[in-house]
Amino acid sequence: MTSIKDFGPEIATLRHMARPAQQRAKRTADPKAAWPRDFIWGVSTSSFQIEGATREDGRGQSIWDTFGAAGRVANHDTGDVACDHYHRYAEDVALMRELGVQAYRFSVAWPRLLPQGRGSANEAGLAFYDRLIDALLAAGIEPWLCLYHWDLPQALDDLGGWTTRDAAGWFADYAALVACRYGDRVKRFATFNEPSVFTLFGYGFGDSAPGASGPVMLRQAMHHVNLAHGAAVDVLRALVPKASIGAIHNYQPCLPATPADAQAAELFGAYWNSAFPDPQCLGAYPPRLADAFAPYVQPGDLARICRPTDWFGLNHYSPIYAKADPSAPLGFTFGPAPSDLTRTPIEWPIYPDAFRDTLLEVSARYRLPVYVLENGFGGHDTPDAAGKVADAPRIDFLKAYTDAMRRAIADGADVRGYFVWSLLDNFEWGSGYGVRFGLVYVDYPTQMRIPKASFRWYADLIKSARQKDGLKGTS
Ligand code: FCB
C-alpha cells in the first residue's frame, strides 16, 4: 500500500497553494471595464469527446477505446459515436459561426493520423483535419490545435506508453507530422491538455485510461510528458513559421478539507498545479517534488523541457479540497468542499474568486500571456416540452466567472482570451454522456444539436465585447 511517505523526503513549499482565496487581500476593480483590445473569445472541444467514427477511415485504437470497451466508463458508454463530429463537423463549424467566436480549440486524434502511433501516416485521417481547418478558416474562426487531449494510440501504450522515455521521441515525430501538414494554416499550437489530470488519473489514481496506478509509473509518465512537451515545442518552432505555442494546464487552489489535511493538500497541489508548469516555464520541478523526481531526471533534461513558449493555457473550474488517505494509491484524495459553498449539479464548487486569484497567480508566477482555454458548467440538462434548453444556472456560472476574470484583468493579470468548455455536450470521460457541459445540447439518439440559452447569452457577450473593441478580428 502506498502512502504519502512513499513520495520521499519532499520539502514543504508552495504554501500559497493552500491559502484560501478568501484570506487573500481584497482587490477592487471596475467590473464593467471594457475587455482588453484583441481579446479572443472561443470554445473548446477534444477529439475523443466529440468525433466518434473510432473505427472509420483507418483510425487506430486509442487507450480510451480500450478503457470504454472494458466497461470502465459510467453506463458502459464509449466514444464510438460521441457527437458524430467526424461527419457533422460542417454543422458544428456553422454553429460556431453563429455563436460569433473568433477561435476554436480542438485536438487532433493521434491514432487517426498514426494508427500505430508511429510509422505510416493515415491519409484519410490527415484529410479529416484538412477539411475541419479549411471550414474554420472559411468561417473566419482561428484554429487552435492541441496535439494531445488524452487519446494515446493503444499500440504505444502496449509499448509502455508515457512510462517509457521513448514516448518523448514518438510525440516529437507526431508533432512534426502535424506541423508539416497543417502549419501552413494553423499557427496556434498547444502541446498537451492538462498533463497533470491525465497522468494523475491514468497512472496515479488509476481511474482513467490506461488505468494504471502507482507512484513510480506516475512519476515516470509525468517526466516523460514533460520531455515530450519540450521536444514538441522545438519541432513546432522549427517547422512552423510564426507559430504561437503553449501548453494547457489545469490550475486551481488545492485546499485542505480539514486542518489535518494540510500536508496532503500541499502534496496534491504540487502534483496537480506545479509538476508541469514549473519545469516547463521555470526550469525546475517544484521543491516539494524534486527528490521524488530525481531518479528519472537525466542530465540536460530540464533544459530540454524548459523551452520558450508564447502563452500559458489555463483550464479552471473550481478549487480542489484535498484530504489525506493512506489507503489511496498516492496517499491523498479528494475531500469534501465546505458545505456553505454552492455547487454545480455534478458537485463542483462554484467559487469565482478562486478563479480571479488563480489568474493573478498564474500570470505573476509564469510571466506569460494567459489564455483561459477551458471554463464551464457541467449539469444534466434536458429540453423542455417546447424543445428548448433553459440552462439559467450555466449562464449564472459563466457570468460570475467572466466577471471574476474581468476583475483579475483590471488587477493586472495578463489574460488575452477565454474559451468556454464546451461547444457541445460530449463524452465526459469516466462519466460518459451523463454529464453535459455544452453550450449546445446534443440529442444523442438523433444527433440533433439544440443551442441552449447559454449559447445565446455567450453570443451576446461576445458581440457586445467585440463592439467595444471595434469588432476586431483575431490577432
Ligand atoms: C477538463 C478536460 C475536458 C473536460 C472538462 C470538463 O479536465 O480537459 O476534456 O472533460 O474537464
pLDDT at position 34:
81
pLDDT at position 473:
44
Q: What is the dihedral of CA 122, 124, 126, 128, to 10 degrees?
A: -150
Mean pLDDT by 10 residues, the chain (475 residues): 32 29 41 82 99 98 98 98 99 99 99 98 98 99 99 98 98 99 98 98 95 94 99 98 98 97 97 98 97 97 98 98 92 95 97 98 98 99 98 98 98 98 98 98 98 98 87 46
- Triad 240, 113, 444: Cα angle to 5°: 115
Q: How far apart are CA 50 and CA 425, in angstroms?
A: 8
- DSSP output for 121-163: --HHHHHHHHHHHHHHHHTT-EEEEEEESS--BHHHHTTTGGG
Question: Is 98 annotated as catalytic?
Answer: no
Cell output for 217: 509509473
What distance in angstroms lies between residue 148's CA and the mean position of ligand 1's atoms? 13
pLDDT at position 32:
60
pLDDT at position 330:
83
Which structural domains are found in the chain, ordered by start?
21-468 (3.20.20.80)
- Helices 453-468 and 392-410 pack at an angle, to 10 degrees, of 30
Catalytic residue among 51, 266, 374, 428: 374
pLDDT at position 33:
66
The partner residues of 354 in beta bridges, in order of sequence, read none
Q: How far apart are CA 61 and CA 303, in angstroms?
A: 33
Of 98, 73, 94, 72, nearest to 85 (Cα)?
A: 94
**Ligand 1, closest atom to CA 378?**
6
Nearest CA to ligand 1 atom 10: 428
- 203 Cβ inside 6 Å of ligand 1: no
**Residue type at 180 in one-letter notation:** C
For residue 424, the 8-state DSSP code is B
Contact 203, 271 (CB under 8 A): no
What distance in angstroms lies between residue 77's CA and the mean position of ligand 1's atoms? 17
* Paired sense of beta strands 332-334 and 370-374, if any: unpaired
Q: How far apart are CA 462 and CA 475, in angstroms?
A: 16
Nearest CA to ligand 1 atom 2: 194
Other C-beta atoms lying within 10 Å of the C-beta of residue 160? 15
Task: Name the CA radius of gyration of the chain, rounded.
Answer: 21
Q: How far apart are CA 206 and CA 1, in angstroms?
A: 14
Q: How far apart are CA 140 and CA 269, in angstroms?
A: 39
**Global confidence as pTM:** 0.93
pLDDT at position 30:
52
* Paired sense of beta strands 311-315 and 320-324, if any: unpaired
Q: How far apart are CA 310 and CA 368, in angstroms?
A: 7
Q: How far apart are CA 426 and CA 435, in angstroms?
A: 8
Judged by phi (left if over 0) then psi (alpha if -120 to 50, else beta), residue 242 lies in: left
- 428 Cβ inside 6 Å of ligand 1: yes
Q: What are phi and psi of 201, to 5 degrees?
A: -80, -35
Catalytic residue among 51, 194, 266, 361: 194
Other C-beta atoms lying within 10 Å of the C-beta of residue 416? 17
Of 226, 214, 143, 230, nearest to 184 (Cα)?
A: 143
For residue 115, the 8-state DSSP code is T
- 193 Cβ inside 6 Å of ligand 1: yes
pLDDT at position 468:
76
Residue with cell 458537485: 347
